[in-house]
Structures are given as C-alpha cells and as structure tokens.
A and B are shown apart, each in its own frame.
Chain A
Amino acid sequence: MSDTHAQSVAFVRNTEIPPSLPPDTEGGVIKWVRENLFPNVLSGILTIVALYFIIRLSIFVVPWIWNGVWGADSLTNCREVLGGKTGACFSVITDRWHQLLFGAAYPRDLFFLSTMTGVPVADLVTPGGVRENTNFFQEFFFGYWRPVLAFVLLFVAIAPVLFSELPRKMLITTAIYPFAAFWLVWGGSLWVPVTILASLAIAYFAYSFVVNRSFFLGALSFLAVLILLLFDPIAMLINAAEFGRNSLAFLGWQRAENALPWVTVMEQNYPWLMNIFPLNAHVVEGLSTISSVSLASVPSRELGGFMLNMILGTVCVSLSLPLGILLALGRQSNLPLIKWVCVIFIEFIRGVPLITLLFVANVVLAYFLPPESNPDLIIRVMIMITLFASAYIAEVVRGGLAALPRGQYEAADSLGLEYAQAMRLIILPQALKISIPGIVNVAVGLFKDTTLVSIISMFDLVGLIRGPILASTDWNGVYWELFGFAALLFFVICYAISQYSQWLERKLQTGHR
C-alpha cells in the first residue's frame, strides 16, 4: 500500500496488519544457553570458571551431607560409623537439639510430657540428657510446649500487623501477645501479666476518654492512670518522704546518728525502684490467695539457645520501633532542648559498637547498681540492644520524614490539625511507608546481632555451641555441623523477613500513591 504512494506525504491506513508468531530461532533451550551462558567470550569464560567452582564444591559437600551420620552419641562414635569416609556428624544436632533451641537449662514440663506420652516421670529424667523413652516430637511439643506455643502464637500476633487485609479486630491478639508470651516463657503467677494488662487496658480507656479533647492530655492521663495502678502510689509517697528525710539526714541536716549511706537508703526505701516490674504486689498477692493459676517459673538465666535470640530479636525490634520514631520526631523538633537531646543520643549510640554497649550492660551497670537491686542481665541487655536499634531506626525514619513534600505538613496545618494529629494521621503513615526497607534492614541486622550476647557469657545459640556443646568431651570438634545449623536457623528467619518486605514494597507500589 505504502509503496504505491511512496512519494506522497498524506497517508491513511485502511487495512490492519495481523499479528504473527516470532521466527523459530527466538525460542528453545539452545537459544537460552547461548544467550544467557555464552553470549560472548568473556561471559563464556566466566561461566566455565563458575561451573568449575560449583562442581568442586559439590564434590565435597554432597557426599558430606549424603554420608551424614544421624544416630551416633559422640564424635568418636560418628567416626567409627563413617569408617574413614567423608561425612557429616549430624548426630550432634539430634543429640543436643533441645539445648540448641531452648538453652541448656530450660526445664521441660515433665508432668505434661508424662501425661501425654504415658511414660512415668521417673523414666523421663535420664542422666546425661539422653532421652530414650520419648521421641523428638513428644519432647518438642509436650516437653517444651510453653516456648513452642509462644513461638506459634507469635505468628498469630504479628499477622494483623504484617497483613493489613486481616480484620483490624485481630490486633487485640497483638496487644495481648507480649503478656501471654511472657507468662509462657517465664512462668510464674498468671496474675502478674494479667494485672499489668488490665492496668494498661484501664489506662487506655482513660486515654481514649480524654484524647478527643487533646492528644497530650490523653497521653498524660494514660501515664497517670498507669502509674497509679502499677506502682503503689501511697507506698511511693511514704518512700519519697522517707527518702527525703534520710537524704537530709545523710547531708548532715539532722543528727549524724540518723544518717545512712545513700545506697542503703535506696535499698531500704526504694525496693520498687530497684524492681524491674514494680507492679502493685499487693494486688497480685491478693488475687493469688483467691485463685492461683501459675506455671513453674523459670529464671531468666535459664533461657538460652535460639529461643533467646528470638526473644531478644522480637522484643528489641518491637520496642525500638516506637522509640526510634519518637527520636526521629524529636530530632525534627522546633524545641532546641528536645532536638539536641535526640541528636546527641542518636549520634552517640551510632558512634559506639554494640558490643561495647553490651559490656556496659554486663559489667558496668552491675558495678554501679546495688547487688540485690540488679535487674536481670537479660533486661539490661534488652535495654541496650533496644537503644542501639532505636538510634538506627530513628535515622531511617528521619529519611522518610525528609522525603515527604512540605505541602503535606502545610495542608495538615492549614486544616487546623494539632501537631500530634498531623504526625499520627498524615505524616507518619506516609513516612513509615517510605522507611519500610530501611527498617527491615535494621531489624534483620539487629536479629543477627543478638548473637553478640554470647560474648558476655549468655548462652544464646552461638554461646551454647561455643560453650557447653563444643566444650563437651562428646562433641569437641564438630564445627561445621553446629554452625551450619545455626546459620540455617538464622537464614530461614532473615530470608522470610526480607521476602516479606519485598512483597510489602511491591504491594504499596502498585496500590495508591
């Protein structure tokens, strides 16, 4: 058509060219190999070199895994079974899985295990950790049902946070979860988490009652009610008066024989300050006399293994997120005092290695605080890791805040929204959306960094491997299998987190903008 009119400028198409299939050379395996593996000489060479290394690696790794020994009870036994062949000694994992997952000292629920399996309790307690009368599944699900249940519930609790499609009412499980998990893992009286939860609920009720008038009033009444319920205000007043009197005495304002050293004053009059959960103990006591629902309580030092990494990871990530957001907002504040406190805090924390902070938690804090008042090491470590992560999250969120156009702040202002409302309803939802990749990055890094606690002699997964397991006569020298197992556990979690964040980013991108 067009060739008959090659010279003319005006052109109208009145027939349509039908689509046709591509030529045959555009498909098939050969084409794929040629285009992707050997498109030119350099790439061809690289392909061959890569293949060489992959084959060399598999020649070693495949038989190592294939010949792996699962049933032996020590490394020597493993070697006997292998009889000189290369092969892994996975028996260490089957023998010590309970330590690797839950820590060397975390107690099994023998009563429940015995009820569910029918094996008498006496036969469950065998010296040396060998469990002959039960299998892995019985041990895992019945013996360790408490941490296992806490782990399973974790997914129920974070699901509504991770997937906004789920009904918003499910967020209630998220709110209850920390208390449920605390009770499952640490045990003790059910009334402890229940009273804390109830106090929080009442405080939240007070907040929602007042928040319509002003957010700050709401926050204030929340704190006031919480303090009233959790701490014993009357005892606090008495203590404060006593403290004042004693301090005056100590400073020599009264007769010298009344004077007590400062630390003693603190210890005697401020037990509530020294406690980590200075919950109104009378309430718990009272409730416990009415009905005592309790699990065998487990001291913090008996937590260990991968469970300890998971606990540190989830607690610190979830605490550092709100703290990091507050720091980021504080850094943007117009009030110089708040601004500089936040800047100094963030810059200081970012300039110090985490391991230093952990040593501070371990040694220095213990040195300064009076011995009995010493909060659990795990709590000091949690505080340090949380502070550390929050400084990084603050910087990520600050980036998100800076990326928002000024017009958003101005539109919120021009409608008469208060600062807190503007932040909560307009600015943060958008800024956090931008910050998701960065926050996930910090979370993954933080989760892996929890293994650093092994250096201050806490028995997390790595601490356990380096300590009790590798030091035992049975398994001395089984490095690859143990650290491979640790790597696998961390990889599974971190890969899942990173996949989630990629999915979330795609979802937010295709959605509204």
Chain B
Amino acid sequence: MTQAAKMKVSDEVAISIDQMNKWYGTFHVLRDINLTVYRGERIVICGPSGSGKSTLIRCINALEEHQAGRIEVDGTRLSSDLKNIDKIRSEVGMVFQHFNLFPHLTILENCTLAPIWVRKTPRKEAEETAMHFLEKVKIPEQADKYPGQLSGGQQQRVAIARSLCMRPRIMLFDEPTSALDPEMIKEVLDTMIELAEEGMTMLCVTHEMGFARQVANRVIFMDAGQIVEQNEPEEFFNNPQSDRTKLFLSQILGH
C-alpha cells in the first residue's frame, strides 16, 4: 500500500447523501443511495455499464436533478436554488470522460476562464495560478495551444488543471481514462495519484483497478442503481461478499 492509501482521513463530512432517488421518466436509475464522504477520502466507484455511476456523481454537482432524498455538499444543501447550485459547482471540480475542453479557447484561456468570471480573480493572478497547475500536470509548454492540437492524455490533464484552477475542495472524475489510448492512461493516472497524495477529496468512477488498489481508501460497487457493496480496497478485491461483485470482478480482472 502506498502513502496515499494509508493517509488518515478526517471525520469532517464533505458530502452526505441520504436516501437519494432519481428517475428518468419512469425509469428508476438511482435507488435509496446513502453515502457519506469524509474530507480527504478517495473513493472509487465501479460497476457494470448503465448501473448509474455517472448519474450518481453528476447529481452531486447538480448536472442532474434528483427527485427524492437529500444531498449536502460542504454543508450546503442542494436545492433548486440557483445560487446554491452555482456555489456548489464552483467548489466541486469535475473531470469528464471526453475532457470537454473549450475548443475555441487556448489551454491557458480554458484554465483562466472560470476563475476570472466566477471567482472574479484578476486576470494576471488567474494566469499565474493556471500556469502553476499546468506545470503540476506537466504541460506548461502547451499553454498557448488550442485543445485540438493536444493528444487525448494531454487534454485530460488540461481538464484536470482547469478544474484545479477553481481551487475546488472536492473532485469528481467520470471515467477519466476510458476514452484514452492505453499508452496515455498512465500519465493521467499519475496526475490523479499525485492529487490523491496531496489529500484532495476525490470520487472517481473508473475501472482502473490498479489505481483503486493504490490510492482508494474505499471502493464502491454499484449495480442497477444501487450501492451493492463497499469496502476497503484490499478486502473488496480479495474477499468480495456479494455474488454480483464477484461476477463483476471476475469479468474485469480475470479473462
């Protein structure tokens, strides 16, 4: 186990989800979700495709609306109040499977846009912060290029830097490496590991089990809109309890 996984987690609550339910029309996507995330926790969410993993983390920053139950992020209750939503969104960073960089802006502009317009940071300061984080993800030399000129791995690292520029207290990752060629997955995972080691609260939807073993302090398995099993990584991988977890693990680990 690495340093990150052993790191002490505080007992300050970052996210608390209580009896949350969501429907798409009549389709019940998320059922009775209860989840408490403590500050500094690194949680990996896995599960078969269509099990509601993306929907769950998208509910946390209100990209999706939930219909029942409550979600509190950093002590702020998510409601339909726009002010609350914008506040939570600026505290919670999100990294998408398809990067979703702004193609008409340079890398630097991608990173400074939200700090300037949402945080009202002066441009110069925002640019300094952006360069700091671009150095951290190891691509400061690309600052003046456009996203289309970068490789997938580089784009995803820019997307991470863009989120970090808002100095979020929580980071959400939705399959950040699934759209990448194999040789680029490592560079993105390394960035995420570094972030974890600094104590960032992270929720990652990913099927990178090596990453889960290395940095996660909790692994959550979802199926059919429910949390089926959650445990420490060692226990989760070596001693899965539910049959569905066993089946899933055998499908993605053993061939």
Contacts and interface: CB of A to CB of B under 8 A. Distances in A.
Interface of A: 212, 405, 407-408, 410-418, 421, 425-426, 429-430, 433, 511-513
Interface of B: 61, 63, 86-87, 89-90, 92-94, 96, 98, 100-104, 113-114, 117-118, 120, 146-149, 162-163, 166
A274 B103 CA distance: 48
Contacts of A430: 102-104
Given A407-B96, A413-B63, A512-B146, A418 B86 contact: yes
Contact of B96 (A410, A418, A426, A512): A410
A415 B113 contact: yes
Nearest to A412: B102
Contacts of B163: 414-415
Given A414-B163, A511-B146, 15 more contacts: A405-B100, A407-B96, A408-B102, A411-B96, A414-B93, A415-B89, A415-B113, A415-B118, A415-B163, A418-B86, A426-B113, A430-B103, A512-B104, A512-B149, A513-B148
A416 B101 contact: no
B102 A411 contact: yes
Contact of A416 (B98, B102, B147, B166): B166
B100 A407 contact: yes
A410 to B, nearest CB: 6
Nearest to A407: B100
Contacts of B90: 415-416
A417 B101 contact: no
Nearest to A430: B104
B102 A414 contact: no
Contact of B118 (A417, A433, A513): A417
27 contacts: A212-B120, A407-B96, A407-B98, A408-B100, A410-B63, A410-B100, A411-B96, A411-B100, A411-B101, A412-B102, A413-B63, A413-B89, A414-B61, A414-B163, A415-B89, A415-B118, A415-B166, A416-B87, A416-B166, A417-B113, A421-B117, A421-B118, A425-B113, A425-B117, A430-B104, A512-B148, A513-B103
Contacts of A415: 89-90, 113-114, 118, 162-163, 166
Nearest to A508: B104
Query: What 7 pairs across the A-B complex have the smallest Cβ distances?
Result: A416-B90, A512-B146, A411-B100, A407-B100, A415-B114, A416-B89, A513-B148
Contacts of B61: 414
Contacts of A429: 104
A100 B102 CA distance: 49
Contact of A512 (B92, B103, B162, B166): B103
A414 B89 contact: yes
Contacts of A418: 86
Contacts of B146: 511-513
Contacts of A414: 61, 63, 89, 92-94, 96, 163
A512 B103 CA distance: 7
Nearest to B98: A407
A433 B104 contact: yes
Contact of A417 (B63, B114, B147): B114
Nearest to A421: B117
B178 to A, nearest CB: 14
A407 B87 CA distance: 20
B125 to A, nearest CB: 15
